[in-house]
């Protein structure tokens, strides 16, 4: 009888743990979906020239999506228009380090270097981008 009670108790603990894991996983997925929605909102705000709101939303999304190269590229673009070249460069480079075959981020970094009159660095980046045969707009 005592052993049956212990077995029942252990089974109950196992089921509670299993339910907790499923709930935790569901919350994690929901948090990522919310972060993606916040990222998309920030990217739309950038497209419409609402740079401060875009930055706010992209930074919020970054808390959950810190390894998303597209998010870092978007942050780089916002920092670029807000005239924060060091921050823009940091995010473009992060995007490229996370996804080395990301010509849009490379092109944006090259554009930043041109804006900053860092001609040699810009030429190096643009040469790399122009050699990517899959990049749709190498011009």
Query: 132: pLDDT confidence band, cut at 50, 70 and 90?
Result: confident
Query: 106: pLDDT confidence band, cut at 50, 70 and 90?
Result: very high
- In the three-class reduction of DSSP (H, G, I as helix; E, B as strand; rest coil), residue 102 is classed as coil
Q: Could you read off the pLDDT of 47-74 as tens digits, one per residue?
A: 999 999 999 999 999 999 999 999 999 9
End-to-end CA distance of the chain: 80
Tokens 């190498």, residue located: 138
| 25-39, 60-74, 83-97, 107-121, range with the lowest pLDDT | 25-39
Structure tokens at 54: 């875009």
Q: Distance of CA 88 to CAs 7, 8, 49, 62, 107, Å?
A: 59, 58, 17, 14, 13
| 9-18, 32-41, 127-136, range with the lowest pLDDT | 9-18
Q: CA 139, CA 132: separation in Å to the nearest integer?
A: 12
pTM of the predicted structure, to 2 decimals:
0.78
What is the number of H-type helices and E-type strands within the chain?
6, 0
Q: CA 83, CA 71: separation in Å to the nearest integer?
A: 18
């Amino acid at each position: 009888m005592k052993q049956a009670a212990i077995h029942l108790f252990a089974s109950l603990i196992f089921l509670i743990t299993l339910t907790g894991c499923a709930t935790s996983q569901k919350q994690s997925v929901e948090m990522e979906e919310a972060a993606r929605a916040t990222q998309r909102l920030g990217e739309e705000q950038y497209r419409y020239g609402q740079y401060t709101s875009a930055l706010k939303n992209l930074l919020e999304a970054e808390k959950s999506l810190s390894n998303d190269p597209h998010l870092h590229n978007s942050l780089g673009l916002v920092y670029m228009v807000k005239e924060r070249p060091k921050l823009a460069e940091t995010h473009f480079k992060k995007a490229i380090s996370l996804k080395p075959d990301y010509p849009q981020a490379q092109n944006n970094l090259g554009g930043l270097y041109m804006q900053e009159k860092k001609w040699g660095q810009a030429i190096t980046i643009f040469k790399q981008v122009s050699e990517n045969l899959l990049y749709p707009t190498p011009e």
